[in-house]
Chains A and B, each alone.
Chain A
């Protein structure tokens, strides 16, 4: 059933690709919007959204074939945020990409908002699947990948998994079935930040044991092609995503090494920031740190 596709057909269908510095700058801007939205809403998650931000920016600004003015275009690439509690990161990148006004991020979690606490596929343009109860996103992604093959559609399906939710058995049901069906138009990106919501304590108070050790080996054992990347380095992410799209005969799992709470010094690596709202002073500090990071990107480019 798998028709071999040419290298041209498998290449990202993007006209011109942004510079890595631009992508990094967009990522830091996205972090600022994410933290502001959570502060404004007075509720929501931060640690996971901040670990996922660079990958989402890479997908929506560099990798995926999409048309924000036509979100129902049949040939668009599909993205499913299986770790649905990181919704604010996805909403932010969708808004920056033009799916809806950036100002609407301030309605996150509010009554009548299209920005529900967890993604509702019918509420907001650009959402491909409703998620939230963990471990459920990979199966619909596999269904979309199979459907694309049956219909002869050229799109690629991307699913972002959290490293906590891969404790759920359904992930491995989907992993088994996707490999068995050689769904090479399906890629899972594991946001491997190592910190669940509470988890198993280590010696230091704010760190935790990794939920699942060596997830790449486990996906490999289930028949997947596995690669790794630095989930905060745009060059590393781009290489991994390009290779995943090009790989034939197997679905690919990219183990993206990330830091929970990335970008804000007092959040990084602290499980307590899984779903915690910064106060005004913490918000100011976070935004200042992120502004410093943006300035540094410019300096690096000049140097």
Chain B
């Protein structure tokens, strides 16, 4: 594990993750609600608009702590986005509380016309991302949200991996004007980032360095990527792990450097392989450094309601699937 050039890239960060064994589990949605309260103290313009899901997204934590800046919008996501845009013109910074499926799909045209095109400072948050959504089934799972927001010019698209990164990314969102989309996973996830982690929008994070294969994760799937890297290490395969919490603007230099270093790329996401992380990485490599790659994610299908463990296996997005893709690329499948 020597001679890497990745850490010399200007934007990429090199962080040693906390060990997964015995890691603290944090519920990301609770971190989200608590962080809004923290940010409200520092930013008087912050307001929260909720689509009648506050006790699911945990915007209710904010509603209890800062009631005069919490606005119940009812089950009307299109109006919620429009009201947010109007408030943004007056200098408010609205944070939207709903599920990713509704944020991305129900209100797409409203986001396009009154948030993305005029580039207004609205922070769009999608809870219950991916397919691990508490047995809600395909209607409430979200496998296209990254693709939708990533396709909108000027919309920063974020998918943090754990509670530490979520909290840090929300402060960065508040400090940076402009339309942004934030993925917030429903279920608890192990803490992998140290408490002093500094989040940079657009910067990849190199969590592990190895020359045999480059594994790229986003959101909580990065935890499964780290598990996969451990599995591969036990088999003598040295994997790099690059975490991309920002899907847009994507850290293309970090992706290219990883491809140069390893020659093999596996992406992992709890999202469709069409238009998500895998698609984004393929776009970068196709233009800048054609590299054999495998995309681990939803293979152009919708999910179903079932326990998480079943869904990870059935839809091929477990740590084992990431490791298997790497093995197959190395001719050791």
- How many Å from the CB of B223 to the closest CB on chain A? 38
Q: What is the CA–CA distance of A144 and B119 in the complex, to the nearest angstrom?
A: 17
Contacts of A132 in B (CB 8 A): 113
The smallest C-beta distance from B272 to any residue of chain A, in angstroms, reads 25
Minimum CB distance partner of B109 in chain A: A133
A147-B92, A148-B90 known; A136-B114 Cβ under 8 A: yes
Q: A residues within 8 A CB of B85? A: 129, 139-140, 143
CB pair A173 B112 closer than 8 Å: no
Indicate if A33 sits at the interface (CB-CB under 8 A).
no
CB distance from A165 to the nearest CB of B (A): 13
Task: Answer whether residue B81 sits at the interface, using C-beta atoms and an 8 A cutoff.
Answer: yes
Contact (Cβ within 8 A) B113 A131: yes
Q: Is A56 an interface residue (CB 8 A)?
A: no
Contacting pair B74 A176 (CB below 8 A): yes
Q: Which residues of A contact B81 (CB under 8 A)?
A: 139
**Distance in angstroms between the alpha carbons of A98 and B80 in the assembled complex:** 34
Q: A170-B78, A176-B74, A177-B73 are in contact. Are A140 and B90 (CB under 8 A)?
A: no
Task: Find chain B residues with CB under 8 A from A139 CB.
Answer: 78-83, 85-86, 110, 114
Q: Choose among B74, B79, B90, B113 the residue that contacts A133 (Cβ–Cβ < 8 A).
A: B113
Stretch binding the partner chain, chosen from A11-19, A23-31, A120-128, A237-245: A120-128
Compute how far the CA of A153 lies from the CA of B89 in the bound complex, rounded to whole angstroms.
14
- CB atoms of A177 and B113 under 8 A apart: no
What sequence of 0s and 1s flags, for each residue 145-183 of chain A, a beta carbon within 8 Å of any chain B beta carbon?
111101101000000000000000110011011001000
Q: Which of B74, B82, B84 contacts A138 (CB 8 A)?
A: B82
Q: Does A52 belong to the interface (CB within 8 Å)?
A: no
* Contacts A129-B114, A130-B114, A143-B84; A174 near B79 (Cβ below 8 A): yes
Taking the closest CB of chain A, its distance from the CB of B79, in whole angstroms, is 4
Q: Identify the closest chain A residue to B76 (Cβ).
A: A173
Interface assignment of A286: CB less than 8 Å from any CB of chain B: no
Please name all residues of chain A whose beta carbon is closer than 8 Å to the beta carbon of B109 when the two chains form the complex: 133, 136
Contact of B82 among A122, A128, A174, A176 (CB under 8 A): A174
CA of A174 to CA of B77, assembled, Å: 10
Residues of B within 8 A of A143 (CB): 82-90
Interfacial chain B residues near A142, Cβ < 8 Å = 79, 82-83, 86
> Chain B's nearest CB lies how many Å from the CB of A101?
24
CA distance A61 to B114 in the complex (A): 27
Q: Quick one: which of A120, A121, A122, A169 has the most chain B CB within 10 A?
A: A121
Q: Which residues of B65-80 are within 8 A (CB) of A?
A: 71, 73-74, 76, 78-80
Asked if A141 is at the interface of the complex by the 8 Å CB criterion, the answer is yes
B117 at the interface (CB under 8 A from A): yes
Q: Does B194 contact A (CB under 8 A)?
A: no
B118 part of interface (Cβ distance < 8 Å): yes
A56 nearest CB across to chain B (Å): 20
Are B89 and A128 in contact, with the CB atoms below 8 A?
Answer: yes
Residues of chain B with a CB closer than 8 A to A145's CB = 86
Among B83, B85, B114, the most chain A Cβ lie within 10 Å of the Cβ of B83
Candidates A130, A151, A169; contact of B113 at CB < 8 Å: A130
In angstroms, Cα B118 to Cα A121, docked, is 7
Which residues of the partner chain A approach B87 to less than 8 Å between Cβ atoms?
143-144, 146-147
Name which residue of chain B comes closest to A151, CB basis: B90
Assess A129 versus B71: contact at CB under 8 Å? Given A122-B118, A174-B79: no
> Main secondary structure on chain A at its contact with chain B?
helix
- A139–B78 alpha-carbon span in the complex (Å): 8
Q: Do A120 and B79 touch (CB < 8 A)?
A: no
Which residue from chain B places its CB closest to the CB of A123 in the assembled complex? Answer: B118
Query: Given A136-B114, A139-B110 in contact, is the A177-B90 Cβ separation under 8 Å?
Result: no
Q: Distance (Å) between the CB of A2 and the closest chain B CB? A: 14
The complex places the Cα of A243 from the Cα of B106 at a distance, in Å, of 36
Q: Which residues of the other chain, A, contact B112 by a CB distance below 8 angstroms?
A: 133
**A180: which B residues are within 8 A, CB to CB?**
74
A147 to chain B, nearest CB (A): 4
Shortest distance from the beta carbon of A159 to any chain B beta carbon, whole Å:
10
Assembly CA distance A121 to B117 (angstroms)? 10
B114:A140 contact, CB within 8 angstroms: yes
The answer to whether A173 touches B78, judged by C-beta atoms less than 8 angstroms apart, is yes
**Which residues of chain B are near A177, meaning CB under 8 Å?**
73-74, 76, 79, 83
Tell me, in angstroms, the Cα distance from A96 to B85 when the chains sit together: 28
- Contact between chains at A130 and B117 (CB < 8 Å): yes
CB interface residues, B 41-77, toward A, < 8 Å: 71, 73-74, 76
Contact (Cβ within 8 A) A170 B84:
no
**Interfacial chain B residues near A122, Cβ < 8 Å:** 118-119
Chain B residues within an 8 Å CB radius of A140: 82-83, 85-86, 89, 114
- Residues of A near B89 (CB, < 8 A) are 121, 128-129, 140, 143-144, 147
Q: Give the docked Cα–Cα distance between A170 and B85 (Å).
A: 14
Residues of B11-52 at the interface with A, using a CB-CB cut-off of 8 Å, are none
Known: A120-B117, A143-B90, A144-B86. 6 other contacts (CB 8 A): A129-B114, A136-B114, A137-B82, A169-B78, A176-B74, A177-B76
List, sorted by A's number, 17 A–B pairs whose CB atoms are closer than 8 Å: A120-B118, A130-B114, A131-B113, A133-B113, A137-B82, A143-B84, A143-B85, A143-B86, A143-B90, A145-B86, A146-B71, A146-B87, A169-B78, A170-B76, A174-B82, A177-B74, A177-B79
The 6 closest A-B pairs by CB, nearest first: A139-B82, A143-B86, A140-B86, A173-B79, A173-B76, A143-B83
